[in-house]
A and B are shown apart, each in its own frame.
Chain A
Amino acid sequence: MPVFKTPFNGYSVKFSPFYENRIAVATAQNFGILGNGRLHVLELSSNPSLPITELIAYDTADGVYDVTWSESHDSVVVAAVADGSVKLYDLALPPTSNPIRSFHEHTREVHSADYNPVRRDSFLSASWDDTVKLWTVDRPTSVRTFKEHAYCVYSAVWNPRHADVFASASGDCTLRIWDVREPGSTMILPAHDHEILSCDWNKYDECIIATASVDKSIKVWDVRSFRVPISVLNGHSYAVRKVKFSPHVRNLMVSCSYDMSVCVWDFMVEDALVSRYDHHTEFAVGVDMSVLVEGLIASTGWDELAYVWQHGTDPRAS
């Protein structure tokens, strides 16, 4: 059965870049408003009819809002915690020595974390304190703080090709593109009229980026010609919480929304909505696509369930 029950409300789910059967799920108690958090590492069985098993779980004093896998060590995960801390866990070490790092610099909730897929030695955290911070595992403090946004930063994502370029999505209604070698942002995209909750780069064209907003739409942009979006995807009936490009198909992307659905889109065709999955019974807030298995999608939501399924099949089918 490709479903796992978490005690708390799901916030984020990520596939391991090293093991095709491993996922990490970030959860928070009481819808993340108040209470503890827990980070789960789960193993999918090679036989899809067998249940998902838990490898290990780490408890935190506040909700875990996001998680990202290390691109250099197969056993390391980074957790974005609502108390403003960023914590590193090493699954290979005994529970008593975890977390191996706890960086506490953000003054507000950390809403996302993203590991650099090109340099593989650093990661970003985006926080409600309006900043993005750049970290490496070996330094006790952040390498840099990017402070330009005027409101919560909900997500910061590395470009898949350029090691120094990342984008940040903020509640100040802008998307900013940054080059860590530069002092300030290199581009400001007033992408939506409402808060932007998520962004992601296309994995095949490093100039294409998607933004997901509270205005219920997803927009796809070419950063070289940013006055008009390439495509506007409408179909969600509430704020779009997360957007993610497929690692395997150039024009495919997946999104999840407060309307409790997970949608798959092809942004280059007229009828962009490819599939709609209505398996969650609460806000769907976390979604990911496997790099190692084409078409494998994972999602989680405030119904305390994490699903893993093959695109085109019913997530609830056992």
Chain B
Amino acid sequence: MAMRDLITGATSCPDPSASSSSQNPLGSLANALIGSSSKTQERLREIPTSNSTGLASQFYSEPLSQLPGSEFDKPFLEANSQGSEFLNRFRSAGAGGFEETWDEIQRDGSQLRLYDGRGQLPPQLHQPALDGTPQRVLSTFLHSFLDSSRGGIPFHPASLPVLGLSEGDKQCIRDRSSIMARHIFADKSEEFIHAQVNALLSSLDIDSNVRGKGPMPERFRELDDYWNESQGNMIQGAHASDGWISEFSQNRERYDNPDAWANSFEQQHGVNGWVSEFEHSQLSSVDQMRGMNMSNIAAREQTRMLANTLAQNADPKFQNSKFLQFVSKMSRGELIIDDNQVKETALPAPGDWASEYQQQYNHGDAWAGEFLNNKAFSGVRPEQWANEFATERQQNGAVDDQWVDEFSNLRVNDWAEEFGEQVGEGAFGEDSSNNWAQAYDEFLNEQYAAKQRSDSSRGVYVFSDLNPYVGHPNPLKEGQDLFRKGLLSEAVLALEAEVLKSPENAEGWRLLGIAHAENDDDQQAIAAMMRAQEADPTNLEVLLALGVSHTNELEQSAALKYLFGWLRHHPKYGTIAPPEMSDSLYYTDVARLYNEAAVMSPDDADVHIVLGVLYNLSREYDKAIAAFERALKLKPQDYSLWNKLGATQANSVQSADAIMAYQQALDLKPNYVRAWANMGISYANQGMYDESVRYYVRALAMNPKAENAWQYLRISLSCASRNDMLEACDSRNLDLLQKEFPLQ
């Protein structure tokens, strides 16, 4: 199968009949070129200025032949029946073209001398050596093409032989380039990516309306609608005018000698040529205005955006990227497939420019009308103008900047403005695309605002709606009692009433934070603790709690800040913590300070606790376990410490030990929601999903607001193949869950 498959290619084509009859275009191109390479070589050698040697080495710094593997860089497609069939086509279509091309080059060469504004010697024409492998041929071809165009030298390459793209091939190009463009132009808008791909496709003559792989469904659904809407209504008029203007100015820059420009213009059209052409073009119909050229111009405008994007990356590697050149060339319309023939179109030479200019007139029916009015106002008749131009030119000789300036200032700007006005009035349906752009901006702003909101909502304490303790004579005392009894959710309400009454009560906020932490709600715990810290910035318990909560949330830098603060404000250890260090905290520095503190007072359980927390941050679980165990020797009744030990053991994959530690914590404090939830995690880690579900449900029954526990429950339910209960989980039906998963 191998050989045949290789040549026929494109088996991903949706229509098998299409692919079987077609050839892999690039492979066949290669075939043809290799098959007739000897002939090509000869022909090239006859061309005196052609550079048929060493082009490859010009593009690849290292000598390819010395690279291992380059010996495989030989034609892998042997000419078989299909190849020779192709060859025939090539000989008739392509090889003959070389002669014509050569003539063309000769002609252009003479023109070049005329138009080369910088007065340099006519540049050497690059003619790629059309030998080597398929890939190399195409690549070298395009590469040298771009190379020459970079220097502002019009380049007329030999036309490539027939490149029949089957429908399957086109689909491949369409789909794959869309997907890849999204990777490469990630920070551009979807609109931009779309434009890039469309430019590429239209220059390859591929219908871009048949959408292959659309944009990402989630993110861009709204945008997609906008886009489709705007596409539906938009006539590409605005693009065309923009394109024209920028093209004009570009050309003006390149051929910055106006003399040359005028010369060429006159030569091509005669002094009055422009006028008659203009008049002729005025007659052209609106149909023409909507014709093919429009999309070409629009595509070229989009290409300029691409070129700008590429130019924005100053990295020379990027500027030299063959791939980016390949893409940009295709989208620049330098590679055009016309009647299934690849045509390399040169950058517009001066003569081309004039005809292009004229072509563009064909579309501007409304625009042309405007121009007519304009003429009427200014009272300059075209013939007069042309005459004036001619005489003035004779008088002024070389200095014709004036004319060009005048031309560009007076006419182009006026037209552009007026055209813009037209567009603004909706004559071209352009307003819908403006709407689109606005809506897109709004969408972005909204997204940004939403992100800001979610960022700022972190650290903002959210109060419960209905609080029976509001108005209670001493809610702090009530809260403390409830907390001691282990009624955490009730204690939270009482403490909320307290801090509503006296927002500066650090103790109220602190206890509220601890109640939340024990209730397995770190977000609220952090918010409450931050308020406590505001009220009393040096409270050690608060700083420690904040450090632990941030560690739980894996926010290392915040955790380090508070743990360092604990040390700073501690009466015993404040001296070893240099205040200037707080500007840039590194984990290793903070850990070192705490180790010093532990040496200073080995019997301070708090220091060992913080060390344990720090080792959790660095994921050195064995050290963390040792630190917590040391602390527990000093404070065996600290249930939260048992919980910390358990969590650390669980993290270091000692889930069985962890369950023992959690059990200790629960023995000391039966309503410790966090320990119940952690117990569930440990069972889940051991693959005992049924057990874990029971513990999660128990924790949630005590505090339904523990978001994490709901998530874990869902995972355990699906792992335990209890998908029947997922619904109950999603609807937070605790009654049902408790009935289904009782804890014995």
Contacts and interface: CB of A to CB of B under 8 A. Distances in A.
Interface centre among A36, A82, A205, A268 (most CB of B within 10 A): A36
Interface string B75-112: 01000000000000000000000000000000000000
Contacts of A32: 176, 180
B138 interface: yes
Nearest to A45: B68
Nearest to A187: B715
B554 A225 contact: yes
A62 B26 contact: no
A231 to B, nearest CB: 8
Nearest to A52: B68
B502 to A, nearest CB: 32
A281 B184 contact: no
Interface string B107-138: 00000000000000000000000000111001
A184 interface: yes
Contacts of B133: 7
Q: Is the interface of B mostly helix, strand, loop or mixed?
A: helix
B172 interface: yes
B138 A30 contact: yes
B217 interface: yes
Interface string B22-64: 0011110000000000000000000000000000000000001
Interface stretch (B345-353, B359-367, B383-391, B718-726): B718-726
Contact of B217 (A31, A42, A151, A182): A151
Contacts of B138: 30
A108 B169 CA distance: 13
Interface in A1-22: 1, 3-9
B462 interface: no
A258 B187 CA distance: 13
Interface string B523-560: 00000000000000000000000000000111100000
B403 interface: no
B2 interface: yes
Given A35-B24, A109-B12, A173-B219, A4 B715 contact: no
Contacts of B554: 222, 225, 228-230
B182 A214 contact: yes
A232 B618 CA distance: 15
A184 B5 contact: no
B719 A179 contact: yes
Interface string A49-64: 0011110010111100
A97 to B, nearest CB: 11
Interface residues on A, range: 35 or more
Interface in A207-266: 214-216, 222, 224-225, 227-230, 237-239, 241, 258-260
Interface string A72-112: 00000000001111000000000000000000000011000
A268 B618 contact: yes
B179 A152 contact: yes
Nearest to B684: A224
A283 B12 contact: no
B633 interface: no
Given A82-B12, A224-B681, A215 B186 contact: yes
A62 B10 contact: yes
B377 interface: no
B135 A8 contact: yes
Contacts of A225: 552-554
B19 to A, nearest CB: 9
Given A4-B69, A29-B135, A36 B27 contact: yes
Contact of A281 (B10, B72, B219, B320): B320
B444 to A, nearest CB: 12
A126 interface: no
Contact of A150 (B218, B322, B323): B218
B317 A5 contact: no
A172 interface: yes
A128 B25 CA distance: 24
A42 B721 CA distance: 45
A32 to B, nearest CB: 7
Given A31-B326, A34-B169, A173-B219, A59 B6 contact: yes
A33 B180 contact: yes
A302 B9 contact: no
A6 B136 CA distance: 12
A315 interface: no
A61 B77 CA distance: 11
A260 B184 contact: no
A263 to B, nearest CB: 15
A114 B37 CA distance: 42
Contact of A57 (B72, B216, B586, B619): B72
Nearest to B70: A5
Contact of A36 (B9, B177, B321, B587): B9
A173 B216 contact: yes
Interface string B253-290: 00000000000000000000000000000000000000
A51 B173 contact: no
B446 interface: no
B73 interface: yes
B183 interface: yes
B617 to A, nearest CB: 10
B8 interface: yes
A317 B135 CA distance: 27
Interface string A283-314: 10000000000000000001111100000000
A73 B179 CA distance: 35
A201 to B, nearest CB: 15
A197 interface: yes
Contact of B213 (A1, A9, A152, A303): A152
Contacts of B217: 150-151, 172
Contact of A282 (B25, B73, B179, B323): B323
B293 interface: no
Residue from B176, B177, B651, B715 with most neighbouring chain A CB atoms (10 Å): B176
A117 interface: no
B135 A194 contact: no
A13 B315 CA distance: 26
B715 A172 contact: no
B11 interface: yes
Contact of A34 (B173, B184, B219): B173
B73 A182 contact: no
Contact of A128 (B76, B213, B313, B586): B213
A151 B651 CA distance: 34
Interface of A: 1, 3-9, 29-36, 38, 40, 42, 51-54, 57, 59-62, 82-85, 108-109, 128, 150-152, 171-173, 179, 181-184, 186-187, 193-195, 197, 205, 214-216, 222, 224-225, 227-230, 237-239, 241, 258-260, 268, 270, 278, 281-283, 302-306
17 contacts: A1-B68, A9-B323, A29-B135, A34-B25, A34-B169, A34-B173, A35-B9, A36-B76, A53-B68, A59-B2, A59-B76, A186-B715, A195-B182, A258-B184, A268-B618, A270-B586, A283-B321
Given A60-B5, A237-B313, A238-B184, 8 more contacts: A31-B326, A34-B25, A36-B9, A38-B76, A109-B12, A214-B183, A222-B554, A282-B321
Interface of B: 2, 5-6, 8-12, 24-27, 64, 67-70, 72-73, 76, 133-135, 138, 169, 172-173, 175-177, 179-180, 182-184, 186, 213, 216-219, 313, 315, 317-318, 320-323, 326, 552-555, 586-587, 618-619, 651, 681, 715, 718-719, 721, 723
